[in-house]
Structure 1
Amino acid sequence: MRRIIALLTSVSVALFIATPATALNVPKSFQDLANSPALAKPGILIIDPITQTEIFENQADVPRAPASILKLISSVTAIKAFGAEKTFKTSINSTPDPERFVMLGEYDPWLTTSKSSANKFHRALSTRLISAIGQTGVDPKTVTIEFNGLFTKDIENLRTFYGKKIKFKRVTKAEVKTLSELTPLAEISSPPLSEIIGFTLLWSDNTLADRLARNASDEMGFTRDSDGMNLAFQQTLNSLEVNHTGLSVKDGSGLSHDDRVSARTIAELLWKIRIEPEFQSIYDGLPVAGKSGTLKDRFTKSGKSAKGLVKAKTGWINTSVTLAGYVEVGNNEYVFAVIANSVKPNEPARELARKTIDKMLATVAKPAGEE
């Protein structure tokens, strides 16, 4: 088996897990399922993070449509760009003109107009900013609000909330710099980035993942489009010494059928996620087989012996069914990535692929204390 290029320090190894007494032996049943027509020649890689060896590999270097496991790269890039404790602020400011206000933001990816959602998830409530205008004695429906640093959809949500009776005007960063005599009226703040990422991964939120990727690209000095995201992802993976040959993305969510990444890239990244403390929120946010998030209803019938023993990011689009994360084998934990991107484009075929992956992992998963 080929040895992974990147080397772990002894401290990092100690943080991961105790050295296994014996290496994982992949049973024939695992290999048979990996070769099943249901998965149509998938990319698969299982890594032993302690011995730095590949336990099982099947076309792991072929770039494929990753679906939502791309969110792992977006999450890592966001943390590298901002730090896990970053909060995104949005403010409303008055000007000497009583009918002109300025809303300035940091592209909070999780703004909401829903009070219940704000209370439940600690999201920033954007309507508070409009209420602050009213508290000055001015009717918000008679003013113009110039804004920068907010997503178009969030402005549309505010318009809808107020019956489209408030006038908004986008201004550029250059125009913002020319503004003077701004008086802050109110400021709202997002939860820490770690909480946003946790929700994003647990429920596979496409909007959040894409926004985080674009924000990170901007913060790293690149454009907010796909070109910028590609450069940001490459820089991040280079800094972590993760192989990214063939990586090409159109978004940060994995929804695009033109996104490409290899099972090797994802598996090596998962290895880094597990050993680097700054990425703990990513590990913690992953769904658990048969118990939480997008894995709550999986491993309950097919592969049920692995229930609670797999912690992973799910993914699917059209012809792709993917799963990538960690599988417990006795007292040890192994990294895996599966990208089946030639599945027939219908739900029965995708469901069969999911069940096949679940059964495959169940052939190696074992509770603590069992070898």
Structure 2
Amino acid sequence: MPEPRLWQLTAGSAVLGLVLAAGAVAAAGPWDNGQRKAERAKAAVADRTGGTHHAAARSAEGLPPAPEPAPSAPGVLTPLGTSAPAAAAAGRPADLAATLVPLLGDPGLGPLRTASVVDVATGRQLYGQGAATPMTPASTVKIATAAAALTALGPDHRIATTVTAAPDGRTVTLVGGGDPTLDRTGLRALATGTARALRDRGVTDVTLRYDTTRYTGPALHPIGPNDNLAPVSALMLDEGRLDRSTSGPAPRATDPAADAADAFAGLLRDTGVTVRRGPAAGRAPAGATVVAKTYSRPLSALVERMLTHSDNDLAEALARQTALAARKPASFAGAQQAVRDRLKTLGVPLAGARFADGSGLDRNDRVSAATLTAILTRAADPARPELRPVLTGLPVGGFSGTLRTRYGTDRTAAGAGTVRAKTGTLTGVNTLAGTVVTADGRLLAFAFLAGRTPSPYTAQPALDRLAAALAPRG
């Protein structure tokens, strides 16, 4: 079922700030986006949150469809040809420290709070408080996961799910490639392609296996069974969700791979193929050949969905895809090292950083505010267009994703439509990191991390006020 695309109206706000600040971004490629003056008016009449339509563009066999631009790219490329004002990259706001220090003193942020604000055009830190101190980042660590995956694989990478058949056609294996967004449309395409190949061989009954060996290590996250994350498997259907939801907490399958294989068996039977035994876990037999294949949406779209909706299943999958690209084990441990290595190639400060998982659910994650603003700055670099989905996927204050209900219900509050940021929430941990375009057209990257917070109901508004203080007024 198609997911909404509100960010096609609003997603460009951050990168036009880059155009205004740094100039000449239009030549950077199709992943760039720009802010339009009508952004708020257009977004206000749209009643759907940001997301990615990932039920289409799947192929049952042969090569994947041609890569598409990031979902937020259409309609916002033209403004990138505008020239940047000469004064756009001027010095720091004179009152920035005076504005932020009192807001950081809000008791709702608890006793541990750090901050970093950076001018993206120059890379200059405009304000910092404990900026290099590693903190538990919660879901803002997904910014790191996104940047690592895009650096390792590129924005047009697609995750394949395949079906193989033994030389005699009697044993069929559903092979998981690590796509948690595989849905019934894709699974049905696999079944149809498989049945066609079997008929060509004169085969009408098979034994079915399913292969999850692309991932290694524990499938269960250290938090244990949880509605926020299914067991991490190379094969799952609709993220292992047992309801019709597409984001947020939901009842999850205890064995998502087995459930996906059962669904595939049913779809095979619908085509007239008899499934004699199974499905059972196991590798494809020696000499097996691929008879059907389906693909995820491009990585750019997966990153945007992950960031907008704080999708934990996608985050863990993208961390493992990063590990596979580095020829490391696709496990929590292998992903941790692969993500760190990729960020190191971007020149991101990593002192004290730890990426225990890709989603931020693990309290052993450690990231500094300076690390987050450095990643955001790299993502806005005209020389790195492949990282642009890190910016375009950020929720928009008052409009999309995990920021839809923040920054005022009337959508006229300070920061609504201008703050783009990834949220982070664990018990006692509240964080916010993203970008904002200032009144004079500069793009700022910010990160505010708070620990031992008394309540999200006081911490989140305090974080929102910090980000809104950077945004234009009126």
> Which bracket does the TM-score occupy, shorter chain normalised?
0.7 to 0.9
Q: Distance in 2 between matches of 1:211 and 1:35?
A: 37
The answer as to 2:258 corresponding to 1:156 is: yes
In structure 2, the partner of 1:5 is none
The answer as to 2:328 corresponding to 1:222 is: yes
Q: Distance in 1 between matches of 2:300 and 2:189?
A: 24
In structure 2, the partner of 1:20 is 89
In structure 2, the partner of 1:340 is 450
Q: Which runs of 5+ in 1 are unaligned?
A: 1-11, 116-124
- Residue 222 of structure 1 deviates from its aligned partner by 1.8
In structure 2, the partner of 1:179 is 286
Question: How many residues are treated as equivalent by the alignment?
Answer: 336
TM-score for both structures, normalised by structure 1: 0.82
1:312 paired residue among 421, 438, 459 = 421
In structure 1, the partner of 2:138 is 67
- In structure 2, the CA distance between the partners of 1:53 and 1:184, relative to structure 1 (3 Å rule), is closer
In structure 1, the partner of 2:173 is 102
- In structure 2, the CA distance between the partners of 1:57 and 1:183, relative to structure 1 (3 Å rule), is closer
- Residue 294 of structure 1 deviates from its aligned partner by 1.0
- Residue 260 of structure 1 deviates from its aligned partner by 1.0
1:90 paired residue among 161, 166, 169 = 161
The answer as to 2:199 corresponding to 1:129 is: no
Contact 2:22/2:89 (CA < 8 Å) preserved in 1? no
Supply the AA of the counterpart residue of 1:234.
Answer: R
In structure 2, the partner of 1:121 is none
- Larger CA deviation: 282-291 vs 218-227: 218-227
Q: Distance in 1 between matches of 2:345 and 2:122?
A: 22
1:80-134 per-residue CA deviation (whole Å, 9 max, x = no partner) reads: 1111101122221222344311334532242123x4xxxxxxxxx1243234444
Q: Distance in 1 between matches of 2:307 and 2:96?
A: 28
1:56-80 per-residue CA deviation (whole Å, 9 max, x = no partner) reads: 1111111111111111111111111
In structure 1, the partner of 2:280 is 168
In structure 2, the partner of 1:118 is none
- Residue 139 of structure 1 deviates from its aligned partner by 6.0
TM-score for both structures, normalised by structure 2: 0.65
Match of 2:363, SS state, is: coil
Supply the AA of the counterpart residue of 1:62.
Answer: T
- Residue 27 of structure 1 deviates from its aligned partner by 5.5
1:27-42 counterparts in 2 under 5 A?
28-40=98-110, 41-42=112-113
Q: Distance in 1 between matches of 2:338 and 2:290?
A: 33
The answer as to 2:272 corresponding to 1:272 is: no
Match of 2:443, SS state, is: strand
Supply the AA of the counterpart residue of 2:309.
Answer: W
Match of 1:254, SS state, is: coil
Contact 2:329/2:335 (CA < 8 Å) preserved in 1? yes
Q: Distance in 2 between matches of 1:80 and 1:27?
A: 34
- Residue 15 of structure 1 deviates from its aligned partner by 4.8
Match of 1:93, SS state, is: strand
Q: Distance in 1 between matches of 2:261 and 2:418?
A: 46
Q: Distance in 2 between matches of 1:57 and 1:183?
A: 56
Contact 1:27/1:363 (CA < 8 Å) preserved in 2? no
- Residue 13 of structure 1 deviates from its aligned partner by 3.9
Q: Distance in 1 between matches of 2:304 and 2:89?
A: 29
- Larger CA deviation: 182-191 vs 55-64: 182-191
Q: Which runs of 5+ in 2 are unaligned?
A: 1-20, 26-83, 215-232, 238-256, 267-274
Q: Distance in 1 between matches of 2:204 and 2:259?
A: 19
- Larger CA deviation: 25-34 vs 71-80: 25-34
In structure 1, the partner of 2:406 is 298
- Residue 232 of structure 1 deviates from its aligned partner by 1.3
Contact 1:303/1:358 (CA < 8 Å) preserved in 2? no
Supply the AA of the counterpart residue of 2:105.
Answer: N
- Aligned identity (percent) is 26
- Residue 249 of structure 1 deviates from its aligned partner by 2.2
1:145 paired residue among 209, 217, 232 = 209
In structure 1, the partner of 2:467 is 361
Q: Distance in 1 between matches of 2:235 and 2:166?
A: 23
Contact 1:65/1:261 (CA < 8 Å) preserved in 2? yes
